[in-house]
Amino acid sequence: MDATDAETACFEAGIKFGSLYHQFAGTPVSPSSADSIARAMEEAIENQPHCESVTVDVLTGELENELADSTADYTELTGRFLEVEMVIDYEGHEVHTRMDVQDGYPLMRVEDVRSRD
């Protein structure tokens, strides 16, 4: 059985999340570099086919809390410091996705699938 266009659009969203997360996990990040890393992540993922938009927010408050008791000026980027939204457009189907922390785990999920037909 072939995948439907809506299913393929959701698969494309998963590929983009996997790329975003695993490409940037472990990158040194500080509150002062958070915006530039967020923009780099957005631009990298937007290069991929079918990606309409990406919004990445690095949670600087969480970074500051992490660094409060540390002698270091930076920490490693992980999903617990990120909120991400993506829109994927494939063959008339728009997939709206989100990643944020749920119970301490960076959860990636499909929020909505819309057909433009």
CATH number of the domain at 71, please: 3.30.1300.20
Length of the chain equals 117
What is the domain range of residue 40? 5-115
Q: Is 70 left (phi over 0), alpha (psi -120 to 50) or beta?
A: beta
Main-chain phi, psi angles of 15, to 5 degrees = -60, -45
pLDDT digits (tens, 9 = 90+) for 25-34: 999 999 999 9
Please report which helix (H) or strand (E) contains residue 110, including its range. strand 105-115
User: Among candidates 109, 60, 62, which has minimal Cα distance to 86?
Assistant: 109
pLDDT digits (tens, 9 = 90+) for 46-81: 999 999 999 999 999 999 999 999 999 999 999 999
Say if residues 58 and 94 touch (Cβ distance below 8 Å). no
pTM for the whole thing?
0.91
Say if residues 42 and 56 touch (Cβ distance below 8 Å). yes
